[in-house]
C-alpha cells in the first residue's frame, strides 16, 4: 500500500499557536496546535516567543523549533483528519504528567 509523502514548502504563523502550511502538492492547511502543545518536547512551545521561532527544515520538509520539536508533515497535511485523535492523546499526556507530579 502506497503512503503519500508530503513536504511543507512554506508556512506562516497566522495566530497564536496557529500556522498556515503550504505543501508540495499545492494544498494548504491551517493548523491550530494549541491543544497538543504538552509534554517535554511540545509543552515549551506554549511560550509564544518560542513558538514564533519556528522555521522550515528544507531537508525534512517540515516545520521545526529551536528546542527540537517538529511535527510529521503528513500530520500537518492531514490535520482535519488527525486533529481529534492528537488532541485526545495530548489529554492523556497531560493526565499522565499530573499523575507523576503527585
Q: Is the pLDDT of residue 37 over 60?
A: yes
Domain 8-101 sits in CATH 3.30.300.30: no
Q: pLDDT digits over 56-72, tens only? A: 999 999 999 999 999 99
* CA distances from residue 73 to 87, 98, 100, 101 in whole angstroms, order as listed: 17, 29, 31, 32
Where exactly are the structural domains of the chain?
A: 8-101
Q: Is the pLDDT of residue 22 over 90?
A: yes
Quote the pLDDT of residue 2.
64
* Cell 502506497 found at: 2
Can you give the pTM of this predicted structure? 0.85
Amino acid at each position: 500500500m502506497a503512503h503519500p509523502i508530503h513536504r511543507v514548502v512554506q508556512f506562516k504563523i497566522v495566530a497564536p499557536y496557529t500556522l498556515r502550511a503550504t505543501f508540495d502538492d499545492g494544498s494548504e492547511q491551517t493548523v491550530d496546535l494549541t491543544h497538543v502543545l504538552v509534554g517535554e518536547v511540545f509543552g515549551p512551545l506554549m511560550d509564544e516567543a518560542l513558538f514564533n521561532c519556528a522555521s522550515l527544515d528544507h531537508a525534512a520538509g517540515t516545520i521545526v523549533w529551536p528546542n527540537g520539536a517538529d511535527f510529521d508533515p503528513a500530520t500537518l497535511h492531514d490535520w482535519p483528519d488527525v486533529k481529534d485523535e492528537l488532541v485526545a492523546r495530548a489529554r492523556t499526556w497531560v493526565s499522565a504528567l499530573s499523575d507523576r507530579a503527585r
